[in-house]
Structure 1
């Protein structure tokens, strides 16, 4: 007996027929009326499967092309944007084919010739560096085939890690690569999937942008999307449709979904020019992220002695507990050992603002023992990706290059309107 099977449940005093639903305790059956009924297992006399659940497989739909339109590639990696609710079982499942996603939003095919391919079908928390490499190679294929722009559908939870990773891998990128996600599955009335996809394509068609960016809702209503720097954004809410925000940066542009007007806010992005794309892929390096907190123990640091690099999420301007207590002093000694062995980079838990290790004695001491990161305005996630990429491609110069602005990830000045 499996979820989705049509069953007949005989109770002591009644009989119920319906679809077996997911449950952690009692048996739950969805009746033909649409209501669910919970049945105490102790009261059940017999359960009979009337019909096994058959998964519905949609036929592939051919997308039309026109010589007068630009060519846009949509690469699917999975996540909520590629999921839908199975209303027979009530579960959210990753079941949309690329063709289904595109043909569900006919506006896309009116805007451009859409080539849609499935690269993977996974939740974003399952991503690894090898997945970034695979995605980059598929992007390279599409560029060689002459696409005018690429949209990547992606789960939102680690989307900003992927946008940062692709920003570093794709050296010499000469077309736009835009990541989009959704906070609500594509078949729900409140889904943000269609608007995010359409706004991403509108932006590609109407600008000279040639970087990696992220296109998501600016506000919770269906009015405006914004185009965020792939290296300077982050998911800041677990469920709201406007969960993504720029960090220590302005949005590049805003796209009005209703009027289709694209307004450039910050034109510091790289424009389309003739450049040779080179892939600088990740190796399977081990980089950790450790959050500073009260009552830390030195054992929390010792595990990183076998790592290739470490990102610290320090408090305030970039601090760790290294004084006033014997355990704190052990933490300092372990940090000193680690900094001699591997690159250890400080970031700040505040997200906004930059690390400044020259203000308080704590920061100065950490800087003196070789902790990197002073004056950097990177989020911990971007710092993590950057260090892993440097260790993969420039291991001998990683400490120096961590402080170099390679892809626009660092700001000389942080304006007040960045927060």
Structure 2
């Protein structure tokens, strides 16, 4: 882990830099000067370059196009010689972006740290500057290559973090999910940070008592290329609903990638434990193991967005690529 000496700061908007508007808090420019003042007051000695990524957004408006733009800006900065990246981002979808970038930037030789704030930098008692300055300090001390999330004094794995609280400063954590999977010996061809991606039609659907085949069919009819089905417990679902099973099986035959994750915060999908799990997975669902929703969605996006065929996506979805599935 090398200490970062030439930092690239990418500002995407979010609460950290918001200012009051007639409609409430809204993303605002001019954050570079505010950040420079804080770093100077802290006595931070560091070469750094700041870039706004237009349009500045509330992260509730995050889309796949924003992920692609962030990834492209980061790769370009690293190719210019920056040896570390700090990405300033809103908290609502911070964990989703950290997970997506973990897979979009596979093999990037420098660390990328995402952070944000629960309160704007101008508010009394805000966590904005402690989070920003803490992330900068961590990068100066040395962070391993890969994507990380820094919040409330903790450096978290980018593909393991989730937002658990909407008002407290310790909003993010790594869920205690069981992680056992085969590790990829190397980054698969066509999946590293140089790979061009395109948007993908993805959907997430939690199972619930009373879910009907028609609900799932309507979602699939929207042109979904990949569906993350959030199952109960260790991967169970309504295995006595033949119509539902038939809908999933037909979608898989059409080329839709189907993945199964657990709704439980500490869940882990396992095949063969319950008959209800086995029958559901037999429709073509690929177990997500202990991946979080954010990680599973980001991984599907990176694999399908790279143009991989259904069987290739299913193969690599079940293999640990960056620590998302294995310790």
TM-score bracket for the superposition, by shorter chain length? 0.7 to 0.9
Secondary structure, counterpart of 2:13 in structure 1? coil
Alignment of 1:250-399 (within 5 A): 278-302=193-217, 303-305=219-221, 306-323=223-240, 328-341=241-254, 342-373=256-287, 376-396=289-309, 397-399=312-314
Q: CA deviation at 1:131?
A: 1.4
What is the aligned counterpart of 1:185 among 107, 111, 120? 120
Contact between 1:85 and 1:187, CA under 8 Å: does it hold in 2? Answer: no
Choose 1 or 2 for highest CA Rg: 1
Q: CA deviation at 1:100?
A: 3.1
- Separation in 2, partners of 1:280, 1:373: 25
Secondary structure, counterpart of 2:7 in structure 1? strand
Alignment match, 1:118: 52
Alignment match, 2:318: 403
- Separation in 1, partners of 2:42, 2:196: 31
Superposition CA RMSD, Å? 2.1
- Separation in 1, partners of 2:143, 2:166: 32
Bigger helix fraction:
2
- Separation in 1, partners of 2:14, 2:143: 28
Q: CA deviation at 1:184?
A: 0.6
Contact between 1:98 and 1:116, CA under 8 Å: does it hold in 2? Answer: no
Alignment of 1:18-167 (within 5 A): 70-85=5-20, 91-106=24-39, 107=41, 110-120=44-54, 121-167=56-102
Contact between 2:229 and 2:258, CA under 8 Å: does it hold in 1? Answer: yes
**Using a 3 Å threshold, how does the CA distance of structure 1 residues 409 and 278 change in structure 2: closer, same or farther?**
same
Contact between 1:290 and 1:312, CA under 8 Å: does it hold in 2? Answer: yes
Secondary structure, counterpart of 1:299 in structure 2? helix
What is the aligned counterpart of 1:228 among 156, 176, 196? 156
- Separation in 2, partners of 1:151, 1:394: 29
Specify every segment of 5 or more residues in structure 2 that has no aligned partner in the other structure, as ranges.
179-191
Contact between 1:102 and 1:108, CA under 8 Å: does it hold in 2? Answer: no
TM-score, with length taken from structure 2: 0.87
1:222-264: per-residue Cα shift (whole Å, max 9, x none)? xxx00000000100111211110012479xxxxxxxxxxxxxx
Secondary structure, counterpart of 1:199 in structure 2? helix
Alignment of 1:211-226 (within 5 A): 211-217=146-152, 225-226=153-154
Q: Give the aligned length.
A: 304
TM-score, with length taken from structure 1: 0.68
1:162-210: per-residue Cα shift (whole Å, max 9, x none)? 1111111113211111000111111111211101111111111112411
Secondary structure, counterpart of 1:318 in structure 2? coil
Contact between 2:177 and 2:267, CA under 8 Å: does it hold in 1? Answer: no
Q: CA deviation at 1:92?
A: 1.6
- Separation in 1, partners of 2:116, 2:145: 20
Q: Displaced runs of 4+ in structure 1, greater than 4 A? A: none
Alignment match, 2:186: none
Contact between 1:231 and 1:382, CA under 8 Å: does it hold in 2? Answer: yes
